[in-house]
């Protein structure tokens, strides 16, 4: 690690003359640009009442270098060395490029490409590909390794083995961005010979799999204000390529074509996923209808994770009134699972939200946000016991007001924010153990002089939480309240900046009162165009009301930084 830091410092020294050459006449851009910085720090730390959480005299040096190559390629390097630890980072574990020229893009190395949400959807692969968009034609193809082979061993029993997975995806479409139709196919398969025999247990079974996905994605603009979006896919997923082959009969040309790409087996499952929406966008109003259905166990090897076994409906309207001064937007949706009717219970969810924004003038503004989340269960394969039935409702409301006074060189802002949250349990048997509510109030003031750099800010906060009543307790109300103040000031033509912050928080719970005091002071001075010196002090006094949990901490830091 010491050699890595020496190489970094030596590299910074070599780069300094190169930086002087970047001031070239306009139009003569260097093909390679280098930037970075070097920082050194030293400080102190003391604590009483608790075990020290830092070194008594922390010190160290850190540096970073970023090399920008043509084509948007960026290579960041960083290193840290000190008595708190050391590290060195470089970006070459996974490296890839995607250069573009006019309507052609080439992918090489480690890349993550998306063709549609249910086929190839951002899975990282090592390989290559190309995307071509001449005119309205939309073509794409990628091929590579989607998973690296990982073998288990006796020395590291926690490692989960994995087969090497390779695959390809192709896309053929027509249209322009925002108005197109694409057809996608993805084919991926595990190499059963890439690792040795894997251990099988109740909690861990690994078998070579195979997947063929065919999908469509489209974004269509109908008339002038109506848009239609559709993403759909059918996935044939074989969980074990070693299972028995199933003979597929029939003369359907589609079945015969895809039968050449994937062999049906006993472990093959055919599932589908669909999401669609219709939207209207007018001058002062909009409306969007959404639908989604994902079959149980739907999978694609082109994505990392899917929430399957869901069906949902949603509506999202918005309205603008009073020449843009009043804006209303909201949404409401329902979702449920157990589409195959093979679970013990069906879980339903309802989600609603409303946002109101009123700005009659530049000085005053009001925002109101409401959201309601409900969850309930219905009987599936078995009846639901009343004492265990899940039926809850979560309500949240936030009101934010602001008032601004601005002169030529003075800005003042007053804010008041109120938040209310409540969890209601509709099951009377469990309500006393789950119901809770929370109220939060924040009153703030901000003052800033733009010419002198002088500024102050303050806030009063109050939070009250009503927790579920536990056995043997009579008061489960928790309160937090206290002020926070801060100030900033610039000196010496704004080369010297200073700041001060302090907060005093009181908390009350179960008849015990605790207090937390936090104070910090910071200063920074620009000694040259690219060199700064900074100093900081932080003090923490925590008194929870319990003698064994009372402690103090004091820390300070002096640092020097240079950038290029």
C-beta separation of 117 from 88 below 8 A: no
pLDDT digits (tens, 9 = 90+) for 525-555: 999 889 999 999 999 999 987 777 789 999 9
Interior angle at CA 514, CA 513 and CA 516, nearest 5: 155
Provide the token pair at 127. Answer: 């390989």
pLDDT of residue 19: 32
Q: Using pLDDT thresholds of 50, 70 and 90, give the confidence band for residue 5.
A: very low
pLDDT digits (tens, 9 = 90+) for 284-304: 899 999 999 999 999 999 999
- Scored b (16 or more CB within 10 A) or e, 485-518 reads ebbbbbeeeeeebbbbbebebebbbeeeebebeb
pLDDT > 50? residue 471 = no
Residue 533: CB partners within 8 Å, gap ≥ 6?
Answer: 524, 525, 527, 558, 559, 560, 561
pLDDT of residue 9: 35
pLDDT > 80? residue 6 = no
């Amino acid at each position: 690690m010491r050699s890595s830091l020496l190489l970094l410092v030596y590299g910074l020294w070599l780069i300094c003359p190169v930086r002087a050459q970047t001031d070239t006449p306009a139009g003569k851009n260097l093909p390679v640009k280098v930037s970075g910085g070097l920082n050194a720090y030293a400080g102190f730390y003391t604590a009483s009442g608790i075990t020290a959480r830092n070194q008594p005299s922390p010190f160290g040096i850190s540096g970073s270098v970023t090399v920008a190559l043509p084509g948007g390629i960026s290579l960041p390097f960083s290193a840290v060395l000190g008595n708190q630890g050391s590290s060195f980072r470089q970006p070459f574990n996974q490296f890839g490029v995607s250069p573009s020229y006019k309507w052609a893009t080439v992918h090489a190395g480690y890349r993550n490409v998306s063709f549609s949400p249910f086929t190839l959807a951002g899975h990282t692969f090592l390989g290559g590909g190309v995307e071509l968009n001449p005119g309205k034609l939309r073509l794409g193809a990628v091929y590579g390794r989607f998973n690296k082979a990982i073998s288990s061993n006796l020395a590291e029993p926690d490692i989960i083995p994995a087969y090497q997975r390779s695959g390809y995806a192709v896309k053929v479409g027509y249209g322009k961005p925002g108005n197109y139709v694409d057809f996608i196919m993805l084919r991926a398969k595990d190499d059963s010979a890439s690792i040795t025999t894997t251990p099988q247990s109740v909690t861990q079974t690994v078998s070579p799999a195979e997947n063929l996905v065919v999908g469509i994605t489209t974004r269509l603009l109908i008339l002038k204000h109506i848009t239609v979006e559709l993403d759909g896919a059918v996935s044939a997923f074989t969980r074990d390529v070693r299972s028995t082959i199933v003979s597929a009969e029939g003369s359907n040309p589609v079945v015969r074509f895809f039968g050449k790409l994937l062999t049906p087996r006993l472990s093959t499952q055919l599932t589908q996923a669909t999401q669609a929406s219709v939207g209207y966008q007018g001058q002062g109003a909009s409306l969007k209808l959404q639908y989604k259905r994902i079959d149980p166990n739907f999978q694609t090897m082109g994505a990392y994770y899917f929430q399957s076994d869901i069906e949902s409906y949603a509506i999202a309207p918005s309205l603008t009134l009073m020449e843009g001064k009043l804006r209303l937007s909201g949404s409401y949706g329902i979702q449920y699972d157990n589409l195959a009717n093979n679970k013990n219970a069906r879980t339903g969810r309802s989600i609603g939200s409303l946002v109101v924004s009123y700005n009659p003038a530049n000085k005053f503004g009001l925002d109101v946000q409401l959201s309601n989340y409900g969850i309930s269960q219905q009987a599936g394969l078995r009846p639901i016991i009343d004492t265990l039935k899940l039926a809850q409702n979560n309500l949240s409301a936030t009101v934010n007001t602001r008032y601004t006074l601005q002169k030529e060189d003075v800005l003042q802002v007053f804010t008041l924010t109120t938040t209310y949250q409540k969890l209601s349990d509709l099951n009377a048997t469990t309500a006393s153990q789950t119901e809770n509510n929370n109220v939060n109030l924040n009153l703030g003031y901000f003052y800033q002089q733009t010419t002198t750099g002088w500024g102050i800010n303050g806030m009063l906060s109050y939070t009250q939480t009503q927790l579920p009543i536990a056995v043997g307790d009579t008061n489960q109300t928790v309160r937090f309240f206290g002020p926070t103040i801060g100030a900033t000031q610039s000196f010496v033509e704004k080369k010297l900046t200073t700041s001060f912050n302090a907060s005093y928080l009181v908390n009350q719970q179960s008849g015990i009162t605790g207090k937390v005091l936090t104070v910090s002071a910071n200063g920074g001075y620009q000694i040259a165009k690219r060199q700064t010196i900074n100093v900081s002090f932080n003090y923490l006094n925590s008194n929870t009301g319990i003698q064994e949990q009372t402690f103090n901490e004091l820390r300070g830091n002096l640092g020097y930084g240079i950038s290029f």
